[in-house]
Structure 1
Amino acid sequence: MPLWTDIRRSPVAAHVVPLAVFMLIGALQPLVGVENLQLPWWRHAPEHWIYPLQTLVAGGLLLAFRSHYQLAPWRRLGWAVGLGALGIVWWCGPALLYENFATSGTKVPEWMEWLGLAERKDGFDPSLFAGHGAAYAVVVLMRFIRMVVVVPLIEEIFWRGFLMRYVQADGDDFRKVPFGRHDWRTFGIVTGCFMAAHAPVDWVGALGFGALMYWLTVKFRSLAACVVMHAVANLLLGLYVMWTRQWGFW
């Protein structure tokens, strides 16, 4: 397959294709889902097969392109863990505040949704398989593999490994730009795109998280640290969602 061979050799494809395919598969959800609980689960809750499909396909692409990735140096991982925790507290804080308002009977103005103060009950709900033993365990496990392993890799390889350098390359080979080189225009573009990739209710959270990630990238110049920060944040988010049942976060 000459075309696939050419794609595998392309550094740009290696950094862009996994995330692009991941998002394309995710775009199937509103096309195939039907809000009718009388239908089989794979029709009214297609995320339960779309998310595992994303995980397997994107994970396979990461393996296929692995020779293009340079995660090292593995340094300042303690900072990565700490900033990941801080970032997810920032992201979830408004929803927790909303829950406190709702419990006390305080009406939250609609405009505050833009700050992240909103109910997060609708989303990927694994309790659909509660009582099914192994099926429930597999559903939860695959959800965590997606958000803690695959998503941090494909996103950081794209956002920090590629886009942050591509913007500064001005049409030249992005690999010539040192990883983590600071530029305010780049900060604005990458952080803005990162925000736009999320729902409006998450924009404030994405802004703060993106800013912390940018600082980590510029300060320590380690893609591995970026991946670890993202993975820790997503792990904590997953645990928070399982605890609070605010399924809308994932």
Structure 2
Amino acid sequence: MRVLPFAVYLAFIALTELLARLGWTAAELRWLYAVKAATVALALAVFWRHYTELHIFRLRPPRLLFALAVGVVVLVLWIGLGADWMTIGTSAGFDPTTNGRIDWALVVVRIAGAALVVPVMEELFWRSFLLRWLDNPDFDTVAPAQVTIRSVLISSVLFGFEHNLWLAGIVAGLAYSALYMRHRTIWSPILAHAVTNGLLGAWVVHTGSWSYW
């Protein structure tokens, strides 16, 4: 239930790459992101009743503010850790412009997907599931505070190499894992992740740095 939405997300990435190899242009594939985000959101909705850790929001104001601050710090590091040796290949990114003009519908879809859907999907997979599963296949019995450093390192490295900016991804994985362990609720890394992705979207649109998408 925590793997399937993530698997759907990866399947759409593979589909996008396949269609690109078959001759589809990046402009023609832009709206596929909306389908991807909607499909992942549907999968999350179908299994929502099983995500018991999401049913109760347990973050007091100081911890809430700390999680939001971590999201901002990760954003700054994400933008700064972009040297050639810190990246894998090149990223075409997501360019929402048509004839030099921004298509704001595409921007809204992209930011909504990145800030509202992706953080829930990825944190359920990487932190709620994989981080704890690496310590015990019966992962539900592992309390966030009991996760081992070994699992944090492995999951964070894997999370990093899921992204083009691998070093920034590892740093983000470590930060989100630390929040999960410290606050003992998956809502903390979800909120931090949402802040990072949402503000990154605003920065990308403001600067035109489409490769960061």
Per the normalisation by structure 2, the TM-score is 0.89
Structure number, greater radius of gyration? 1
What is the match of residue 233 of structure 1? 196
Instruction: Tell whether 2:149 aligns with 1:167.
Output: no
Q: 1:24 to 1:53 in 2, by over 3 A?
A: same
CA distance in 2, matches of 1:47, 1:193: 27
Aligned residue among 10, 17, 25 for 2:4: 17
Counterpart pick for 1:124 among 94, 104, 108:
94
Unaligned runs of 5+ in 2: none
Q: Could you tell me which residue of structure 1 aligns to residue 72 of structure 2?
A: 85
Equivalent pair of 2:131/2:147 in contact (CA under 8 Å): no
Q: Which residue of 2 aligns with 1:4?
A: none
Residue in structure 2 matched with residue 211 of structure 1 by the alignment? 174
In 2, the alpha carbon distance for the partners of 1:240 and 1:119 equals 19
Deviations 1:50-99 (A, max 9, x none): 2111111000001000001112343121111000000110110144xxxx
**C-alpha separation between the residues in 2 aligned to 1:131 and 1:240?**
17
Matched, 1:177 2:177: no
> Structure 1 166/125 Cα, relative in aligned 2: closer, same or farther at 3 Å?
same
Q: CA deviation at 1:179?
A: 2.9
1:60 aligns with 2:42: yes
Q: CA deviation at 1:198?
A: 1.2
Among 185, 190, 194, the residue aligned to 1:222: 185
Residue correspondences, number: 207
1:131 and 1:220 map into 2 onto residues whose CA distance is 43
Quick check: 71-80 or 207-216, which moved more? 71-80
Distance 1:164 1:129 in 2: 44
Gapped regions of structure 1 (runs ≥ 5)? 1-13, 37-42, 96-111
Does 1:148 pair with 2:115? yes
CA distance in 2: counterparts of 1:49 and 1:92, whole angstroms = 25
Question: Which whole-Å deviations, capped at 9, do the CAs of 1:162-207 have from their partners, x for residues lacking one?
Answer: 11111111x3x211111342301101211111012112xx111112
Give yes or no for contact 2:74–2:171 (8 Å, CA) kept in 1.
Answer: yes
Return the offset for 1:140: 1.2
Q: Secondary structure of the equivalent of 1:153? A: helix
User: Which residue of structure 1 aligns with residue 105 of structure 2?
Assistant: 138
**TM-score (normalised: structure 1):** 0.76
Q: 1:25-44 to 2 correspondence within 5 Å?
A: 25-33=12-20, 43-44=24-25
Q: Which residue of 2 aligns with 1:189?
A: 154
Q: What SS does the aligned partner of 1:222 have? A: coil
Rounded Cα–Cα distance in structure 2 between residues aligned with 1:203 and 1:210: 10
Shift of the 58–218 alpha-carbon distance from structure 1 to 2, 3 Å rule, reads: same
Aligned to 1:74: 58
Q: Which amino acid aligns with 1:126?
A: P
Q: Distance in 2 between matches of 1:145 and 1:239?
A: 11
Identity value in percent? 30
Could you say what the CA RMSD is over the residues aligned between the two structures, in angstroms?
A: 2.2
One-letter code of the match for 1:115?
Answer: M
Which aligned runs of 4 or more in structure 1 are off by greater than 4 angstroms? 129-132
